[in-house]
A and B are shown apart, each in its own frame.
Chain A
């Protein structure tokens, strides 16, 4: 029988499948923080908006604990991706009081 877990995408940004997540849990990784660091799930452009909950659900099921008790990873800034150019121009603006002409 075909392994469906290998086709179920948990983290779309980093291409992490359900099979990989379940393997991690079977190997003894107990928390979202650990799974994020060994698989990169949640480290992509959306910063875990989808996969964080899906992995939490797998941990909840495996350990028989309610979802609200699954420890979350730290929500880190920025909320949305922002270009280095825009940030650099903001610094330049604050430093000199002049707005950078270039639009990024």
Chain B
């Protein structure tokens, strides 16, 4: 580790590592990634790993579609010798209310404008996609065959190793304890292994992002919210797609390895950095999912854990340069869908930092939108 870098990135999750990779690819290679534990130890390594293109806003649909294209060739793209575990088994979105079903049909129009190959599934055809589903109460469903999931650990390591190959340095088990700001400009970071100077500092700390930004005098509306997940023992392959319900707040998929992984949001979850798993969640998620997928009753749960969504007021990312500290850029607030849009987000941010053109307007992600009212509204989040 040197005393000074061009760019210091705080946070070794999918956002921090993908931004490091894209910056290095564009010639900004004097980069240090500082991670307080190990790579993926925060939200990335705890996430549901889904890759969904079936969004209800043009912006999210575009980010997800273009990110999926990167995931499809991530090993080759980064020169990684491992397997990133991409499995495009599709996403089956099920609607349990009339209103939800109407929204899905509007979403399909947006998706088709962007070029996403999603379609409505007639009620009598749902079982062709998931034969063991209980269709009671289902009003309609949508399917996109190129949605899927990937291994968040290997995807992050692919970006990290690719970045290191181009000269980026990564330090783990090192905590950023302070930010140095002088005359309205960021100058560097203080860490548990000493002070480091930097021209640009990137805050990619997920649920910790607001706390981190406060160290530079920047107040951001990002707050951590605990979400829980469970995983079962591996069994023979019985389900290809991710099955998801916004109304019942759950998602469930079977990994290529055979384990079934599922998660559920709790609308009453308080704001906190709590990562404890609860038995109440375990029972509730089991009950909700086995109503829709009764065949899973016999599967045994082997592990459960919790992680944080980094929530923003309109449940979409905040990419923002601090007014109080020029050169201090926060990329957080992904509200539960950071993993799936990370590849395109990293390209957007890196184009901005290297003065290159981008088809997307980065200023739309600025925190200014909460003042002007130009929110990034997204009707379909779980």
- Residues of A participating in the B interface, judged by any CB pair closer than 8 Å: 30-31, 33-34, 37-38, 40, 43-45, 47, 74, 76-78, 81-85, 87-88, 90-92, 94-95, 104
Contact = CB atoms under 8 A, between A and B. Distances in A.
A77 B304 contact: yes
Contact of A88 (B37, B39, B297): B297
Contacts of A76: 277, 303-305
Contacts of A82: 300-301
A47 B232 contact: no
Given A38-B82, A47-B302, A81-B300, 7 more contacts: A45-B233, A74-B305, A83-B301, A85-B286, A88-B287, A91-B286, A92-B287
B97 interface: no
Given A84-B289, A94-B283, A104 B37 contact: no
Nearest to A39: B153
Contacts of B234: 44
A78 B283 contact: no
Given A83-B300, A84-B297, A34 B290 contact: no
25 contacts: A33-B38, A34-B38, A37-B153, A38-B82, A38-B154, A38-B157, A40-B257, A43-B303, A44-B234, A45-B300, A77-B279, A77-B303, A77-B304, A81-B300, A81-B301, A81-B302, A83-B300, A84-B289, A84-B300, A85-B290, A87-B301, A91-B283, A91-B284, A91-B286, A91-B287
A84 B286 contact: yes
A88 B153 contact: no
Contacts of B82: 38
B45 interface: yes
B304 A44 contact: no
A52 to B, nearest CB: 13
Interface of B: 37-41, 45, 82, 153-154, 157, 172, 231-234, 257, 277, 279, 282-284, 286-287, 289-290, 296-305
Q: Report, nearest first, the 10 A-B pairs whose CB atoms are least far apart.
A: A85-B297, A87-B286, A81-B300, A91-B287, A91-B283, A37-B153, A88-B287, A88-B286, A84-B286, A88-B290
Nearest to B157: A38
Contacts of B39: 34
Contacts of B286: 84-85, 87-88, 91
Contacts of A87: 282-283, 286-287, 301
A83 B301 CA distance: 6
B40 to A, nearest CB: 6
Contacts of A34: 38-39
Nearest to A27: B161
A44 B302 contact: yes
Given A84-B232, A94-B283, A78 B40 contact: no
A55 B382 CA distance: 37
Nearest to A82: B301
Contacts of A38: 82, 153-154, 157
Contact of A77 (B41, B257, B282, B290): B282
